[in-house]
Structure 1
Amino acid sequence: MSGWDNAPYPDHPPFTWGDRLRIAARILPLALLVFGGLILLLTVRLVERPLSGASRPVSPRITQGVCRGAVWLCGLDWRSEGRMMDRPGALVANHASWLDIFVLNAAGPLYFVSKAEVADWPGIGWLARATGTVFIRRDRRAAAAQRDTFVGRLRNGHRLLFFPEGTSTDGRRVLPFKTTLFAAFFTDDMKARMAIQPVSVRYSAPEDQPPEFYGWWGDMEFGLHLLRVLSARHRGAVRVDFHAPLGVADFPDRKALARAAEVAVRGDRPSE
């Protein structure tokens, strides 16, 4: 855990009756969309798996459609700049919230790399497993096996996305990137054809809320944060910027590649 995980949380006033009514009006459609989409995805996978194996040509599009609807129901106006790359490799982004999963999946088919604990979270864990998330453990003893898993997914043509900060923040800064997962791209048979695409996610809070409104970090309760998001009187916004891909072969090692990606993702935001 980094020092950021112990940062104080913003104070929130108690829910008003108006807040409760907005939550009630939004949470049922959101649940129906997400879990209805999950049922549809699993049904499609019954046919897709024997025909296409690990390539998943159809089911990620279901995830994308569900996530676009979920972003809207969570009160966010979504837009993007640039284009998601279509060459082999992975995307790396800053990490501000559980909302990042919806926001980034809304941009196009991809597979997240997540800490292993997420697989056991009620609701979120089921969704993560169904959508092909790669789970990793923060354990040096497991580093080699995890790198092999990572490489295997890349060889299957999967477009992966991971959060090199290693934790989430309030979205107003970018933490130094951890370099461990970048090593997977420097294997001899992959380096020449792989690329890393930096992606910046920027949230704009509703007009009557603090700037860190969408940030979710440390031991902040997921359920309470979800209710805060759904109770917002005004809509917020999120912008996803796709920067130019970085060819792995253009960098001498994982540290240089990670640093270049970090600079692109941060832009004009501070570091810690």
Structure 2
Amino acid sequence: MTAWLDAPVPATRIRPLGWLRVIWRGTVLGSLTYGGLLVLLLVRLIEWPIFGQARPVTPYITQFVCRTGLRILRLPLVIHGRPMTAPGAIVANHSSWLDIFTLNAAQRVYFVAKSEVASWPGIGWLARATGTLFIARKGTEAKRQKEIFESRLQAGHRLLFFPEGTSTDAIRVLPFKSTLFEAFFAPGLVRSMHIQPVTVVFHAPEGEDPRHYGWWGDMDFATHLLKTLATRRQGRVEVTFHPEVPVDAFENRKVLALHCERVIRTAHVNAVT
């Protein structure tokens, strides 16, 4: 089951022209990202006193930055289906940090991430500023986190989380963990919440390893970022919004998680074969 984790990681070799792309794209992407962060924080100074936890303006800034970021990387985004309008949350498969740009570009959402992300240099600031909900992997924190999760949903936030619990090599979908699905079965939410499965498929550049965009095992962020910036002719990424389902149509969190996993896995297999 975990043999793929031990597979050799493709070596990253960047040619001289590749380094020019790294410098050019990296400078522009960094300026866009942190310039956007500054604008977002300034707008949030006005947004917070008026709207509190609600964020009617700043998610549009995040979406603009992510859409533009994909253009800078020259990574085409193809969207199938439509984001749901009903109250609820989104679940998706997870290949790499590129999912954040991709899914933010496709819809205005708030991510659910492991608590360690909050302390990552650079990335942690961006995650906190854009409203990411951090989850600690501790049993003692489960009740408090469930309450925070429910509070955000009741505030109308469209939360998005990755039930696999980790990123992959981009050519497979791992079994879904059902823990976070439990929050949707809270008495105040179960009759109104919907879940929309979303499949994200990265197609490697022609002639490259199919796992080109995957981020797994002991791969570090810096190396993966450099490889992505240096890629001359990118592949493409497809996002498919599947029909949403009402939470109360399912017996429990495990049945709901299994349904979402099957929908996403089936679409992923069909797209990569």
How does the TM-score come out when normalised to structure 2?
A: 0.95
| 2:114 matches 1:109 | no
Q: Residues 166-185 of structure 1: CA distance to partner in whole angstroms, max 9, x if unpaired?
A: 01101111111000000000
The match for 1:238 is: 237
The match for 2:18 is: 19
CA distance in 2 between counterparts of 1:22 and 1:172 reads 26
User: Which residue identity does 2:194 align to in structure 1?
Assistant: A
2:12 touches 2:227 (CA, 8 Å); kept in 1? no
The match for 1:70 is: 69
User: Which residue identity does 2:64 align to in structure 1?
Assistant: G
CA distance in 2 between counterparts of 1:167 and 1:108 reads 21
CA distance in 2 between counterparts of 1:127 and 1:101 reads 11
CA distance in 2 between counterparts of 1:77 and 1:49 reads 34
User: Which residue identity does 1:127 align to in structure 2?
Assistant: L
User: Which residue identity does 1:225 align to in structure 2?
Assistant: H
The match for 1:125 is: 124
Return 4-13 or 154-163, whichever deviates more. Answer: 4-13
Q: Residues 154-197 of structure 1: CA distance to partner in whole angstroms, max 9, x if unpaired?
A: 01000000000001101111111000000000011210100110
Q: Please give the secondary structure, in 2, of the residue aligned with 1:90.
A: strand
1:116 touches 1:137 (CA, 8 Å); kept in 2? yes
CA distance in 2 between counterparts of 1:172 and 1:232 reads 19
Q: Please give the secondary structure, in 2, of the residue aligned with 1:20.
A: helix
Q: Please give the secondary structure, in 2, of the residue aligned with 1:55.
A: coil
User: Which residue identity does 2:232 align to in structure 1?
Assistant: R
* 1:177/1:157 CA distance change after superposition, 3 Å: same
Gaps of 5+ in 2: none
User: Which residue identity does 1:131 align to in structure 2?
Assistant: T
* 1:166/1:215 CA distance change after superposition, 3 Å: same
User: Which residue identity does 2:129 align to in structure 1?
Assistant: A
Equivalenced residue count is 269
1:182 touches 1:257 (CA, 8 Å); kept in 2? yes
Q: Please give the secondary structure, in 2, of the residue aligned with 1:219.
A: coil
CA distance in 1 between counterparts of 2:3 and 2:41 reads 37
1:20 touches 1:231 (CA, 8 Å); kept in 2? yes
Return 5-14 or 96-105, whichever deviates more. Answer: 5-14
Q: Please give the secondary structure, in 2, of the residue aligned with 1:145.
A: helix
Return 245-254 or 18-27, whichever deviates more. Answer: 18-27
The match for 1:179 is: 178
| 2:238 matches 1:220 | no
1:110 touches 1:159 (CA, 8 Å); kept in 2? yes
The match for 1:79 is: 78
| 2:221 matches 1:193 | no
Pairwise CA RMSD? 1.4
1:7 CA displacement:
2.9
1:4 touches 1:218 (CA, 8 Å); kept in 2? no
User: Which residue identity does 2:25 align to in structure 1?
Assistant: R
CA distance in 2 between counterparts of 1:43 and 1:8 reads 45
Gaps of 5+ in 1: none
